[in-house]
Structure formats: structure tokens, C-alpha cells
Amino acid sequence: MSDPPSPSSFQSDKPLLDHLTIDLILAILNHTFLNPIFTWLIPLAYRAQTFQYHHPPLYLSIAYAAFVTVLWIAKRVNRRLAYGVKREFDWMEEVVVITGGASGLGLLIAEVYGMRGVTVAVLDVREPEGGEARNVEFYKCDVGDRKQVEAVAKDIERDLGTPTVLINNAAIVNGKKILDLSAEEIETNFKTNLLSSFYTIKQFLPGMLKLNRGSIITISSVLSSIAPAQLSDYAASKAALKSLHSSLTAELANQPGIKTLLVTPGQLSTPLFYGVKTPNNFFAPVLEPVDVAKEIIAAIDGGLGGHISMPVYSRWIGVMEVLPASIQKLLRWSSGVDRAMAGFKGRKVLDQEGNRTW
């Protein structure tokens, strides 16, 4: 039996220049010319060289540093007003439930929390990759089946305690044109990708309300804002998840102890989209699951609610909806988004090529 390819092998080896992306450039800028501390070093350096305040280099650099500082403060004030105060996250008291946590992004988050001593319950129909992990309990469950979710919720409450963090991560991809999708495939897609989140929230939210402590994380997708060809069912379910998150957040507005977090990542190098080629590596780089996991874990640990969008283009993709239809069509054609699924193989093919079940 041969070992299955690692996640990093889902994409072909890239030339060094392909590692240059708009996200990398923005990250450098955020740590330099868009960082308040760095920008104030510039006028200080001019003063050290005996520049007077009426000299253009000095007063212009002060003005720029002040502008960046105001933007930095405004960003934090906006976040506080939008998402409220942080909630306390106590590692020893938290119980984390992750759907679809047997592989990919969900498994990474489960393993990180498990290694840190946090109690984790993974709900999936597949056995976790790599076997057992410390402090991670596996519950075989089809989260698209309401009866199974209800039964597993009772088991988790009995075995581990009241869940305080729910990460709705389970998802499947069919990758077919609408007319090629069977009725069963469509129903399974919506049960797994969408209805499962309703089922888990209804089971675990009441316990969080009693404790006045909890975090609900919804893993949607950038495809919730732009639906490519061959992804009608997947994109529709992810768009519905965004609406579910918005409504849930509004309903919990008077519950400061419970935070909601929406995650809309671009393409991840996981088995789910095996064979898909990103339309443009500079503007739409493929994300490593570990990078997304770090952002999610940091938000949960910090007791934060809000919205995580990465890479950069995913924060602005919604603008397309207000552009003229002709411009939208041109952007779709030029980006190649509707041709990206041409090489799609998916997890099933990866299972066959790897000669083992993932």
C-alpha cells in the first residue's frame, strides 16, 4: 500500500516567482508602511538628523504617520462597536465540537486544541487521518442526519461535558454541472453543507446560553459570493451558511458571552478540491490549511466574533455584485473562475490514487 499524497502535493511544484502574491505584498506593507509604530520611526529619524518642523520631509512624514495611526485606531473602534467585548476563553473549561474534523482544516484545529489540553469532539463519517490524537474524541456521525446529531449530542454531553465551541466545518463537493447532478447528490450536499449547521446549533446552543459562554464558528467560502460553473450546489449551500451566520448573530446580539465567527476562505490545498487549479496565483493564491487554522484558533482564543476572509481578494469579492453585468462577465472570463473546475478530481479520486481511505 502506498502512502497518499500529502496536502502540499495537491498543487504542482511552483516556480519561486509564483510565491509572490498580493497577500505577501500586503503582509509586508502591514508590518512596515501601514504600521503606526514603523511610520513614526520615519519622522523621528528626520529629527535625529536635525530636520526642522517646517522642512517638508519632516512635516509630511508626521502627517502620514498620523494618518496611518488614525486608520489603525478607527479599525479597532469599528471592530469593538461591531462585535462587542471579548469573551473569556478558559482552556481547562472549554469543550470544542468540530464537524468534518477527520481531515483537512477541521483535523488541524482538532489536533492543535488537543495538544494544548482542550477537550475536543470530532464528528465525521470517516475515521480521523493519522489515527487517535491526544484529547480528541471521535464520534462517527453523519451530521446531515438530524437523528444522528441528536444522539451524538447526548453522548458528548455525557462523556465530555457541555460544548462551548462549535465549529461547523463539514462539507462535500460534487463538482458537476447542474444537469449532471443527481437528486440524491443535491440533497446530500445541502444536508451536509447546510442543514448540518442548523442541527448542531439547535443541539449545542442551548447549553452555551445556560453557561453564557460560547463560540459558534461557521466555515463558509469565498464561493458564497461568486458561484463558478460546476459548483452550483456547493456555492448555494455556502451562500446559505452566510445568511445563517448573519441571522444567528442578530439573534444573539443581547448575549455578549456568545460569539459568532464567519470564515470565508478561498481555495484550500485539501482533498476537497483536489485537481482544481487556481485561476490566478498572484491575486488568488491557494491557501495552506495551517494558515487558516491559525487565524481561526487565534480568534477563538481571543474570545472574538467577526469575519475572517482570506486571501485578500475574498474581502472584496462582494463588490462584483454591484458592478454592471458586462463588467462582471468580463472579470469572470479574464479570471478564469468558470474554467477552474475543469481538472477537478475530488476526494474520491484521491482515495483511489492513494490506495487508502482518507
Q: Are residues 332 and 192 in the same domain?
A: yes
Q: 198: closest CA among 190, 208, 187?
A: 190
DSSP 271-289: GGGTTPPPS-TTTSPPBPH
For 331-350, the pLDDT digits (tens) are: 888 888 888 888 888 766 55
The predicted pLDDT at position 92 comes to 87
Q: Are residues 165 and 227 in the same domain?
A: yes
Annotated catalytic, 234?
A: yes
Q: Whole domain around residue 240: which residue ranges?
A: 95-339
- Asked whether 159 and 106 are in contact (CB, 8 A), the reply is no
Mean per-residue pLDDT of the chain? 88
Task: Give a yes or no: residue 23 inside a domain.
Answer: yes
**pLDDT cut 90: percent of the chain above it:** 61
Task: Give a yes or no: residue 345 inside a domain.
Answer: no
- The dihedrals phi and psi of 121, each to the nearest 5 degrees, come to -115, 125
Would you call the peptide bond into 311 cis, given omega within 30 degrees of 0 as the criterion? yes
Q: Are residues 68 and 107 in the same domain?
A: no
CA distance 198 to 168: 10
Q: Are residues 102 and 196 in the same domain?
A: yes
At which of 53, 83, 113 does a domain end? 83
Q: Are residues 171 and 201 in the same domain?
A: yes
Q: Are residues 153 and 302 in the same domain?
A: yes
Task: Give a yes or no: residue 153 inside a domain.
Answer: yes
Annotated catalytic residue: which of 46, 199, 234, 274?
234
At which of 83, 109, 131 does a domain end? 83
Task: Give a yes or no: residue 176 inside a domain.
Answer: yes
Predicted TM-score (pTM) of this structure: 0.86
Q: Are residues 162 and 295 in the same domain?
A: yes
At which of 83, 108, 125 does a domain end? 83
For 258-272, the pLDDT digits (tens) are: 999 999 998 888 888
**Position 143: which residue type?**
V
Q: Are residues 39 and 155 in the same domain?
A: no
For 199-248, the pLDDT digits (tens) are: 999 999 999 999 999 999 999 999 999 899 999 999 999 999 999 999 99
Look up residue 113 and give its three cell numbers: 486544541
For 113-169, the pLDDT digits (tens) are: 999 999 999 999 988 877 777 889 999 999 999 999 999 999 999 999 999 999 999
For 44-94, the pLDDT digits (tens) are: 999 999 888 889 999 899 999 999 999 999 999 998 888 888 888 888 899
Q: Are residues 142 and 190 in the same domain?
A: yes
Q: How confident is the model at residue 5 (pLDDT cuts 50, 70, 90)?
A: very low
Task: Give a yes or no: residue 314 inside a domain.
Answer: yes
Q: Are residues 59 and 105 in the same domain?
A: no
Q: Are residues 77 and 107 in the same domain?
A: no
Task: Give a yes or no: residue 262 inside a domain.
Answer: yes
CA distance 203 to 123: 13
Task: Give a yes or no: residue 63 inside a domain.
Answer: yes
The predicted pLDDT at position 354 comes to 53
Task: Give a yes or no: residue 319 inside a domain.
Answer: yes
The residues, ordered by sequence, that sit 6+ positions from 36 with a Cβ below 8 Å of its Cβ are 65, 68, 69, 72
Q: What is the CATH number of the domain that holds 143?
A: 3.40.50.720
> How many domains are contained in the chain?
2
Q: Dihedral through CA 134, CA 155, CA 299, CA 145, nearest 10?
A: 120
The predicted pLDDT at position 163 comes to 97
The predicted pLDDT at position 358 comes to 32
Q: Are residues 210 and 277 in the same domain?
A: yes
